[in-house]
Structures are given as structure tokens and as C-alpha cells.
Amino acid sequence: MLLQWAGQHFERTDVVYVDTHIDDMLIADGRSPQEAEKSVKRTLKDLRRRLRRSLESVSEHGERFRVRSLSEIQETPEYRAARESTDRAFLEDGDFATVCEEMVRAVVMNRPGEGVGISAEHLRAGLDYVLAEAPLFADSPGVFSVPSSVLCYHIPTPVSTFLAHRETGFQAAQGQAYVVVRPQELADAA
């Protein structure tokens, strides 16, 4: 359904699924490295299956969709340049660093489980995850070598809100836009 919507609204769609740092968060939750690895493999297998089915539903426009894992994108020079910029901003711009940490806290506090709280391991694992995604929030036009890009995400995030409204200091690249996309029944409930 989401890909059908994207096919109607965008000339080209890059679907990026996160396959990095998931195990670190599970380990921080108390799972063994072996349990975390098995869980991540199952989760990613299911995610890839659902992505394949979604792509089949838009087969008439299939050439307009490109699906890649974050680990694959991380290998590109465009991503690495954007990552260098976001990493530098995290170290030099206290406001950006604070927003990244707020995003980690928001995600960790809303994860399923017993509400263990946020340990140092959670914060480290979460920051690794957020900083891996940050180039997509800050400069998806640069990462995908296009003049403009709309990052579609399932929830509003502290990082996208911060970058969308920042007028000085570290800010979103020219041509970067954001939209929150959710199924109609969830949007109606919000």
C-alpha cells in the first residue's frame, strides 16, 4: 500500500531498510549475542519477504523503485560524505547531539518489552543506530544523487523536526523534505 502511494506521488522511490545495529539494541536488552543474531536474521528475512510482496503489487512501475539495505548504502561514497558531515555535527553542534540523544530515548522508551529503562548500552547502541540513519535525514538528496528528496518515515522524529526547522548551524541539505506516512486507520487514531 505504501509503495502504491509512493508510485503515484514520486518519480523515483528508494526504499531503505535498516539492517545495522539492531543486534546491539537486543544485546543491551539482555539477550545473548547468539539470540540477538537469530532474532535479527528472522526479522530481516520477514522484512525482505514483505518488501518483495509489496514490490510485486507495483510491478507495473517496478523500475521506479529501488530497495536496498542501509548496510549496502553505507558503502557508497555519497553516504560516507553525508555521514562524515552528520558525525562532525554530532561532535560540534550540541543542539544536534541533544536531539539525536532525545530520539534514542524516545525509541528505547517505546520499544516492546518490560521497560528496563535506558542503560549506557542502550544509549550507545541507539546512538549508533540513529547516527547510521542521520545522513538520510540530513542529506538524502546527496546520498541518492538527486536534486531533491522526500524522506518518508512512519513517525515524526526529533531529528527530522529539528532539521526541518533549523535555520542556523547544522541543518538539512538543500532539497531535503520530510513527510510522515502511516496507514489511514493509524492516522485517524492520532
pLDDT digits (tens, 9 = 90+) for 142-166: 999 999 999 998 888 999 999 999 9
CATH number for the domain including 173?
3.40.50.11710
* CA pseudo-torsion sign 139, 142, 144, 149: positive
The per-residue pLDDT for range 78-87, each reduced to its tens digit, is: 999 999 999 9
Cell numbers standing for residue 130: 540513529
* Mean pLDDT, rounded, for 19-44: 89
C-alpha 161/C-alpha 94 separation (Å) is: 16
* Mean pLDDT, rounded, for 16-20: 93
Tell me, what's the pLDDT at 112?
A: 58
* Mean pLDDT, rounded, for 3-29: 87
pTM comes to 0.86
pLDDT of 98 over the 70 cut: yes
Where does the pLDDT of residue 185 fall: very low under 50, low under 70, confident under 90, or very high at 90 and above? low
Tell me, what's the pLDDT at 30?
A: 80
Tell me, what's the pLDDT at 170?
A: 94
C-alpha 41/C-alpha 47 separation (Å) is: 10
Where does the pLDDT of residue 136 fall: very low under 50, low under 70, confident under 90, or very high at 90 and above? very high
C-alpha 180/C-alpha 3 separation (Å) is: 14
Task: Report percent pLDDT > 90 for the chain.
Answer: 57
Torsion of CA 80, 81, 82, 87, to 10 degrees: 80
Task: List all residues 6 or more positions away from 113 whose beta carbon is below 8 Å from its beta carbon.
Answer: 29
Tell me, what's the pLDDT at 188?
A: 63
What is the average pLDDT value for the chain, to the nearest integer? Answer: 88
Task: Report percent pLDDT > 70 for the chain.
Answer: 92
Helix (H) and strand (E) counts in the chain = 9, 4
Q: What domain range is 9 assigned to?
A: 2-189
Count of the separate structural domains present in the chain? 1
pLDDT greater at residue 30 or residue 149: 149
Tell me, what's the pLDDT at 26?
A: 85
pLDDT greater at residue 57 or residue 59: 57
Beta bridge partners of 15: 67
* Mean pLDDT, rounded, for 7-16: 89
